[in-house]
Structure 1
Amino acid sequence: MRYEPAPLTRHLRVRRDRGHTVLEFRGEIDIAAAAEMLPHLDLATAEPDARIVIDLTQVEFFDCSGLRLLYRARHRITDGAGSLRLVCAHPLTLRMLRITGLSRLLPPWPTLDAALEADLEQPESASGPP
């Protein structure tokens, strides 16, 4: 199955970059946004060897609905040979990731470039920054 990028939605932009599918979350990620984004997230993570980067740099608000999306993506990717990286530098979102323990399962990269270039430096690295 070939994955075609989703059209720009209010809360999600999907694109290809350096062999990865980048899911750029945008704005306020709450229960309504999560419902809109879920089908696109599932489509992007459907392939067993999917290489996904979730970019939270454009997120203004992130609640437990957003955390559920991240947990779901991680679960779907770890079932196969794919990789999942998270980009996040916002202090409050990073705090939420630490408090919930998600930062241990999905260590955040500080920038999109760092997450995308990690394969060039460490091909076996599928999780977080060194």
Structure 2
Amino acid sequence: MDTNHARLAPFHTERVVGGTTVVEVRGEIDVFTAQPLSARLDSLTAGSRPDVVLDLRPVIFIDCSGLRMLCRTRNRVLAQRGRLRLVTGDGCFLRILRAARLADVFEIHPDLPTALFGVVPQDEVSAAAG
């Protein structure tokens, strides 16, 4: 494995916010990194009615392996009658989802507060009003 790739390998943090598991993924999601991340998401979605938010804003690259991992996670969550939300504001990532015909498959939010609570952050409300 090339040392530059190891530096950009995704890592993630997990926390629970009001019963929802928030997983922030950083780095690249590709053929080398999707499988370990998928295994972790499998364990997080194994229970009944999983509620998961994947914060993908810090992801700098995703390939078809990453898209497959997202689809697998979505299918596991739906099979358990749970909910999966993606957080991304990256236009490039959204274009990739549209090109793969996956944009309407996922629940996508521009920021974490909207994904978690369905509310627009106060600073955005103030900016829109002013």
Same fold by TM (over 0.5)? Answer: yes
Q: How many residues align?
A: 111
Identity %: 40
Distance 1:77 1:49 in 2: 7
- TM-score normalised to the size of structure 2? 0.79
- TM-score normalised to the size of structure 1? 0.79
1:48-59 to 2 correspondence within 5 Å?
48-59=48-59
Equivalent position of 1:62 in the other structure: 62
Q: 1:70 deviation in Å?
A: 0.8
1:5-84 to 2 correspondence within 5 Å?
10-84=10-84
Larger Rg, first or second structure (1 or 2): 2
Letter in 1 for 2:57: T
Is 1:110 paired with 2:110? yes
Q: Mark the runs of 5 or more structure 1 residues left unpaired by the alignment.
A: 1-8, 121-130
Distance 1:10 1:68 in 2: 16
Deviations 1:50-75 (A, max 9, x none): 10001100101111111011100110
Equivalent position of 2:86 in the other structure: 86
Q: 1:10 deviation in Å?
A: 4.4
Letter in 2 for 1:68: R
Equivalent position of 2:124 in the other structure: none
Q: 1:100 deviation in Å?
A: 1.1
Equivalent position of 1:124 in the other structure: none
Distance 2:107 2:37 in 1: 22
Q: Is the 8 A contact 1:87 1:108 kept in 2?
A: yes
Distance 2:102 2:26 in 1: 20
Deviations 1:53-107 (A, max 9, x none): 0110010111111101110011001112211111111111110111112111103
